[in-house]
Amino acid sequence: MPSVTGTSSPPRRRLGPEERRAQLVQLGLDLIKARPFDQVLVDEVIEAAGISKGLLFHYFPTKRAFQVAVIEAAAAELLEAVRPDPALDVLEQLRHGLDAYVAYIEQQPASYTAIVRGAGSDTALLQVFEDTRDAIVDLVLAGITAEPSPLLRLAVRGWIAGVEESTILWLRDRECSRDAVIVLFYREALALLPLIEEMEGDD
Amino acid sequence: MPSVTGTSSPPRRRLGPEERRAQLVQLGLDLIKARPFDQVLVDEVIEAAGISKGLLFHYFPTKRAFQVAVIEAAAAELLEAVRPDPALDVLEQLRHGLDAYVAYIEQQPASYTAIVRGAGSDTALLQVFEDTRDAIVDLVLAGITAEPSPLLRLAVRGWIAGVEESTILWLRDRECSRDAVIVLFYREALALLPLIEEMEGDD
């Protein structure tokens, strides 16, 4: 089953199943930093891994299954990057989290945009997208209150979607400084809290 | 070429090309209010129109071309719905525009969500999506200033994306009142302007 690898490929090593699976996902993660995730070819992955197409499909029965595994790994990477440092105060956590979020999109704008705009074309991809967005909303809410109201959750989720959209647009046009966009997001978040408190006090 | 129509179909009329094209797009618009746009079947459209599949494909060479025409018509409908009434003052325009925007998504949440989440799977759909979002941002900015700064444009585009995201989530969970979400969006917009002014005054 193993193919003859090209001279430019790394020498083929014998890996255990877990190790092999992790290697393939890592290769996918590296490739989507260079190109929209839906344009990453199976042939590139197997060439870089020095394995046959049959072996790739042994681990991932379809190209879509491989894509979903890579996007799940990317989502885990993003959540790890934005995880707040408990040594910082809440406002510093927010600032650091925003910086890390923007930095993550900056690393791979083409893939990030393709995922955000195209997630709905597949149920499994959409689920990863929704779960990741929920997890980020939870991280933000955890810094604010133990019992977020439905309106606060809605507002934070909208704010995150806005941060994402503005970052994608900023990376496309680069008409503002990086600092300005991060300060914008930070101040938007700070403005949101008293606004919700005032609304809920209105009842 | 014309098919025999079922007994439940309307009697077939002879329409001119423009009239026929408009009729088919209108049927598509009606159908996507009932079901996600990507699940609307060509067979339903031709049955409702009382025409053959060949005639549909005469007007729209592919199913995707028909979908794009329907989404373009839906976007035009949305823009018409949110167009500000110049007789109102700017704040009333904002409130009415938000109400109309939420009402539009409410009419067809499944299709709206499918379009927002799936637009990136096709270049032509993505273009309609981007153009529509730009046009809505232009409408909002026109109410604020004749010369929006890049940062203000970025902020308004993010805000619109947040409004959309929060509305989709609200329609899914219905945990807040309709009034509360519209007031939230309205107040977010009002908070944005002084925030940008302050940032740009900081330079």
The CA distance from A113 to the nearest CA of chain B, in Å, is 8
> Among A121, A169, A191, whose Cβ lies nearest the Cβ of B157?
A169
CATH of B17-61, one of 1.25.40.80, 2.60.120.310, 1.10.10.60, 3.40.630.10: 1.10.10.60
When CB atoms are compared, the residue of A159, A166, A191 closest to B154 is A166
Cβ distance B12 to B63 under 8 Å? no
Mean pLDDT value of segment A17-24: 92
What is the pLDDT at residue A10? 56
Looking at CA atoms only, how far is residue B194 from chain A in angstroms? 11
User: Contacts of residue A173 in chain B, CB cutoff 8 Å?
Assistant: 150
pLDDT of residue B117: 84
pTM for the structure as a whole: 0.88
Structure letter (DSSP) for residue A37:
G
Nearest CA in chain B to A181: B151
**A41 and chain B in contact, CB less than 8 A:** no
CB-based contact B23:B50 (threshold 8 Å): no
Confidence at residue B5, expressed as pLDDT on a 0 to 100 scale: 44
- Which pLDDT score, from 0 to 100, does residue A97 have? 96
Distance between alpha carbon B18 and the CA centroid of its chain, in Å? 23
Mutual angle of helices A42-49 and A63-82, in 10-degree steps = 70
Report B:147-166 residues touching A (Cβ under 8 A). Answer: 150-151, 154-155, 157-166
Q: Residue A4's pLDDT is what? A: 45
Cα angle A174-A180-A182, degrees, rounded to a multiple of 5: 100
Instruction: Give A78→chain B minimum CA distance, Å.
Output: 20
ipTM of the complex: 0.87
In chain B, which residues fall in CATH 1.10.357.10?
Answer: 71-201
Which residues in A lie closer than 8 A to residue B116 (C-beta atoms)? 120
What is the rounded CA–CA span in Å between residue B96 and residue A8?
62
**The two structure tokens encoding residue B67:** 């979908």
| pLDDT > 80? residue A130 | yes
Contact A154 B166 (CB under 8 A): yes
| Contact between A141 and A94 (Cβ < 8 Å) | no
Q: Which residues contact A79 (CB under 8 A, 6 or more apart)?
A: A132, A135, A136, A139
Q: Residue B9 has what pLDDT?
A: 52
Closest-CA residue of chain A to B181: A151
Q: Quick one: pLDDT at residue A7?
A: 47
pLDDT score recorded for residue B114: 85
Residues of B in Cβ contact (< 8 Å) with A166: 154-155, 157-158, 161
How confident is the prediction for chain A on average, in pLDDT?
90
Whether residues A161 and B161 touch (CB distance < 8 A) is answered with: yes
In which residue ranges of chain A is CATH 1.10.357.10 found? Answer: 70-202
pLDDT, mean of residues A157-163: 97
Residue extent(s) of CATH 1.10.10.60 domains in chain A: 17-61
- Which positions of chain B have pLDDT values less than 70? 1-13, 202-203
Q: Lowest-pLDDT range, A55-59, A77-81, B42-46, B199-203? A: B199-203
Q: Which pLDDT score is estimated for A203?
A: 52
CATH number for the domain whose boundaries are A70-202 = 1.10.357.10
Asked if the Cβ–Cβ distance from B154 to A184 is below 8 Å, we say yes
Rounded CA-CA distance B31/B40 in Å is 7
- Residue A182: helix, strand or coil by DSSP? helix
Alpha carbon A182 to chain centroid, angstroms: 18
CATH number of B71-201: 1.10.357.10
Q: Which residues of A touch B169 (CB under 8 A)?
A: 154, 157-158
CB B189 within 8 A of CB B159: yes
Look at residue B122 in the predicted model and tell me its pLDDT: 84
The answer to whether the CB of A3 falls within 8 A of the CB of A48 is no
Contact B154 A117 (CB under 8 A): no
Per-residue DSSP letter, A34? T
Q: What is the DSSP code string of A46-69? A: HHHHT--HHHHHHHSSSHHHHHHH
Residue B6 is predicted with a pLDDT of 45
Residue among A117, A166, A175 whose CB faces B158 most closely = A166
Q: Does B116 touch chain A (CB under 8 A)?
A: yes
Partner-chain residue, chosen from B117, B118, B157, that has the shortest CB–CB distance to A166: B157
User: Is the Cβ pair B120, A129 closer than 8 Å?
Assistant: no
Mark yes or no for CB contact B195/A188 under 8 Å. Answer: yes
